[in-house]
Structure 1
Amino acid sequence: MLTKNPMTPVERRAVGALALLYSFRMLGLFMVLPLLALYAADMPGGTPLMIGLALGAYGFSQALLQIPLGWLSDRVGRIPVILGGLVIFALGSVVAAMADTVQGIVLGRLLQGAGAIAGSVMALVADITTDEQRTKAMAVVGASIGLSFALALVLGPIIASFSGLHGVFMLTAVLATAGIAIVFFGVPRGVQSRHHDEVGAQPGMIGKVLADPALRRLDFGVFSLHFILTASFLVIPFAIEDILGVAREAHWKVYLPVLVASILGMLPLLRASERHGHVRGMLLLSIAMLVLSVAGVTLLAIPAVLYLALWLYFVAVNYLEASLPSLVSKAVFPGGKGTALGVYSTSQFIGAFFGGASGGWVLQQGGVHALFVLCLVPGLLWIASSWRLVAAPRAQEVAAGG
């Protein structure tokens, strides 16, 4: 629950620094999302399969290492793990910047993902803040992620227009270096690492989380979201260039107004879900919007339809990114929130990897229409599983009341 009491000056400074650090890292990861498909196609090895691997490679290493690095930070401290992760992330960015083949970019992206410090950063936020301020602090860091995503889609094309992919990856390395400076100068020293039920995966609870049907459905949901998100960015940049006739250097002029309009479009969904209790309807509607938007991008070469599809796409993505973690928190058993969110995040990164890898292969073998079918399958399965997920608590409430 959010408290009305203000944070202390130390908490404000530390939370602000960590939110900035988190946003710098996510900005670096997201900036290549609208660029790789276009720019890497001109490089040696620029097949759809290799480009898909380059898009999703960070998800593989991040999924593999984020929970173990969180455990390591419990033993050796948060700061050493965060600093080590930032160094690896910066190294991966330099490797990708210096690459002259797509295979080199894949290696760089794998290294970027290996700097998997998200769990350690959130644990440090929990260490620094009191129980009363923790929810507010987590909300600040969470908001920085959404802002980074929107900013990346606008800044990426602008920076690439001057310096190509090389410049984008080098800027990412600079942001990682700035993150190291933030850790040294903005984060208090001597903070004791502590156990928090709401942050960090506990080894003994992973099996229990995986055995929970409601949590499994939510994990599949975020897997599907990032599968579709990553796969669809193999074609969205080309659709903007070919259907709208917008040069790649000016793609930000498409993303900016669409993103702003999507925030306005998301607000009624949030209001209906949170204030009026239409969780089931808004969740199913947003998944359907996501699937329909991918159909509009891949199946219809009509400018007006593409603009509408992009708006629906970002309304759905923004709403789902905001609502799914909340559903995990509400569905989890007592004491299991940190573990549930850790498994949830791992599912997200696995989805990004498989979306890029399988999306690239399917696009190479069967073209754009086949890619839509690939995205349609997890979308329909997600609708089916979410129907049961949302209906179950209501049935329990009715049974308890009757």
Structure 2
Amino acid sequence: MNMMNALERRSTFALSSIFALRMLGLFMIIPVFAVEGQSYEYATPALIGLAVGVYGLSQSILQIPFSLWADRFSRKPLVVLGLLLFAIGGAVAAMSHTIYGVIIGRAIAGGGAVSAVVMALLADVTREEHRTKAMAAMGMSIGLSFVVAFSIGPWLTGLVGISGLFWVTAIMGVLAIFTLLLVPKTTRHHRNFQQGYLHQLKQVLQMPDLNRLHVSIFSLHLLLTAMFIYVPSQLIQYAGIPLAKHGLVYLPLLLLGIIFSFPSIILAEKYRKMRGIFLTAIVGVILGLVVLTFGATSKYLLLLGLGLFFVAFNVMEALLPSWLSKSAPIQSKATAMGVNASAQFLGAFVGGTLGGQLLTLHSTSTGWAILTAIAILWCIIGFGLKQPRYLSSLIIRLPEEDSAEQTTQGLTTELLEIKGVEEVVIMSEQKVAYVKLDKKVIDEDGRQRLTQLFGKELVI
């Protein structure tokens, strides 16, 4: 039970790859478009900025509709639709000769707002005990794609031009669809609470702990985006590192963050210290920003501050999706993730705007002090979070005979009647089901009934 099974590893790899391919295509544009975008007809600085930012705006607006649908319908077709929109948008931008065409293409690409759907699908196909590991792998794939994109984006643009770079993003969107074949087809069963879309969204928005998690992802990505706009000029000026080699700074810091995040994940999940690790990570962000506030003009203090920030960022990036999936209502898991993803993209949008304003300041330390104040406010809000509840998962093998579907339906109904059983996820092609339950709620009668249904004594 300490290791993910083959199905979980395969699904985690596939869904992390979808995130990585999308983000790689997206991030490669950012370091080159401010310069290359000037070659488009009708281009102005404001329209170039809009071409970069409109993707995040589309994502922010459409995450919630996609996630509401994902709580009612099969998640995989929605992911395919989102990836097709991403690929089509890349193709439209690639064929455009005017900045307006690029803006339209980027808006279409952003319309494939399926980040929350992918995370909800990952939550379906992983057991509760391994959720944080799976989410961490996804978070790391995003971070790695960010660094790789910033490193190869300028080089690739030199080879194929800016329109070729957009074609590359379209191809990556198509490739991501094929990785989805590695993810099993799932059918979710839970105690169904029939409610309208607006009521479902209202229910999610009225949960204080979920709102604190939304504030957390907003703050984290605001700080990250602002930092990546604010810090490059300081790496050049104070550390003497040219722009082309900044990826060589970010990559070791990212790897350092990954190394530190694994023990944190084990502590958070195995020993149920999620709240403590979460608050420690926010303090780590604050400490990194404080070091930058007072030492950004020193090469080594600048790198130390960035290192602290990256370590804390990686830990937080792993914890937040897992915590969200534990705290969200079972029947509204994707909706909660959709609101969270909207907050994430909105944070990146605000962070980008704020980062541009920080560049106009005469004092480097003032800019870092502003970001530190935002992190402290985040810590105050996040302090009210309660420890999430921890579900456990049992694996049950489904019958192979012709009447398997009818037998499975009957078994699912019986399982959901047991107090403490929250959800049953069926993977029919693999003849496997995950039974997700709350050990603190299940009683002796429930234990005996599970023992009868599983045909063996269960330790719960």
TM-score, normalised via structure 2 length: 0.67
Q: 1:267 to 1:120 in 2, by over 3 A?
A: closer
Deviation track 1:60-115 (CA, whole Å, cap 9, x = no partner) reads 21121122124446777555533332232123334555678887765554333211
Say if 1:22 and 1:141, in contact at 8 Å, map to a contact too. no
What residue in structure 1 maps to residue 315 of structure 2? 319
Indicate yes or no: 2:283 matched with 1:288.
Answer: yes
Say if 2:151 and 2:244, in contact at 8 Å, map to a contact too. yes
Say if 1:197 and 1:337, in contact at 8 Å, map to a contact too. no
Q: For residues 110-149 of structure 1, what are the structure 2 equivalents within 5 Å?
A: 110-122=107-119, 129=125, 140=134, 143-149=137-143
Q: CA RMSD in A?
A: 4.1
Distance 1:248 1:115 in 2: 31
The correspondence for 1:209, drawn from 198, 204, 212, is 204
- The letter for the 1-side match of 2:223 is I
Q: 1:155 to 1:29 in 2, by over 3 A?
A: closer
What secondary structure sits across from 2:383 in the alignment?
helix
Distance 1:278 1:73 in 2: 30
The correspondence for 1:353, drawn from 340, 349, 371, is 349
Judging by fraction of residues, say which structure has more strand.
2
What residue in structure 2 maps to residue 399 of structure 1? none
What residue in structure 1 maps to residue 385 of structure 2? 389
Deviation track 1:177-225 (CA, whole Å, cap 9, x = no partner) reads 2123445x6567xx57656689xx9833322222222221121111111
Q: For residues 170-209 of structure 1, what are the structure 2 equivalents within 5 Å?
A: 170-183=167-180, 194=188, 203=197, 204-209=199-204
Cα drift, residue 283 of structure 1: 2.9
What residue in structure 1 maps to residue 66 of structure 2? 69
Distance 1:350 1:102 in 2: 23
Say if 1:363 and 1:370, in contact at 8 Å, map to a contact too. no
- The letter for the 2-side match of 1:115 is G
- The letter for the 1-side match of 2:138 is S
- The letter for the 2-side match of 1:283 is F
Identity %: 34
Q: For residues 46-61 of structure 1, what are the structure 2 equivalents within 5 Å?
A: 56-61=53-58
What residue in structure 2 maps to residue 236 of structure 1? 231
Distance 2:176 2:331 in 1: 32
Deviation track 1:143-188 (CA, whole Å, cap 9, x = no partner) reads 13422322430343134224258255443222112123445x6567
Distance 1:298 1:374 in 2: 9
What secondary structure sits across from 1:235 in the alignment?
helix
- The letter for the 1-side match of 2:380 is A
What residue in structure 2 maps to residue 86 of structure 1? 83
- The letter for the 2-side match of 1:219 is H
- The letter for the 2-side match of 1:311 is G
- The letter for the 1-side match of 2:87 is A
What residue in structure 2 maps to residue 341 of structure 1? 337
- The letter for the 2-side match of 1:239 is Q
Q: 1:139 to 1:78 in 2, by over 3 A?
A: same
Distance 1:24 1:114 in 2: 16
- The letter for the 1-side match of 2:340 is Y
Q: For residues 224-263 of structure 1, what are the structure 2 equivalents within 5 Å?
A: 224-263=219-258
Cα drift, residue 318 of structure 1: 0.2
Q: 1:298 to 1:241 in 2, by over 3 A?
A: farther
Say if 2:66 and 2:338, in contact at 8 Å, map to a contact too. no
Distance 1:46 1:229 in 2: 26
Cα drift, residue 260 of structure 1: 1.8
Distance 1:251 1:179 in 2: 28
Distance 2:301 2:253 in 1: 13
Cα drift, residue 234 of structure 1: 0.9
Structure 1 unaligned regions, length at least 5? 394-402
What residue in structure 1 maps to residue 213 of structure 2? 218
Q: 1:217 to 1:148 in 2, by over 3 A?
A: closer
The correspondence for 1:23, drawn from 14, 20, 27, is 20
Comparing 355-364 and 365-374, the one that deviates more: 365-374
Q: Which protein is bigger by CA-based radius of gyration?
A: 2
Deviation track 1:29-65 (CA, whole Å, cap 9, x = no partner) reads 34456x25xx615754685x77765554333211211
Q: 1:268 to 1:21 in 2, by over 3 A?
A: closer
Q: 1:259 to 1:20 in 2, by over 3 A?
A: closer
Structure 2 unaligned regions, length at least 5? 390-460
The correspondence for 1:154, drawn from 129, 141, 148, is 148
Deviation track 1:334-372 (CA, whole Å, cap 9, x = no partner) reads 655443333222221221222223433454477755543
What secondary structure sits across from 1:301 in the alignment?
coil
Distance 1:5 1:292 in 2: 34
Distance 1:266 1:288 in 2: 15
Cα drift, residue 261 of structure 1: 2.0
Distance 2:386 2:73 in 1: 40
Judging by fraction of residues, say which structure has more helix.
1
Residue correspondences, number: 378
Distance 2:44 2:281 in 1: 33
Say if 1:158 and 1:249, in contact at 8 Å, map to a contact too. no
Q: 1:46 to 1:313 in 2, by over 3 A?
A: farther
Distance 2:370 2:98 in 1: 27
Cα drift, residue 384 of structure 1: 0.7
- The letter for the 2-side match of 1:113 is G
Higher relative contact order (CA 8 A, sep 6+): 1
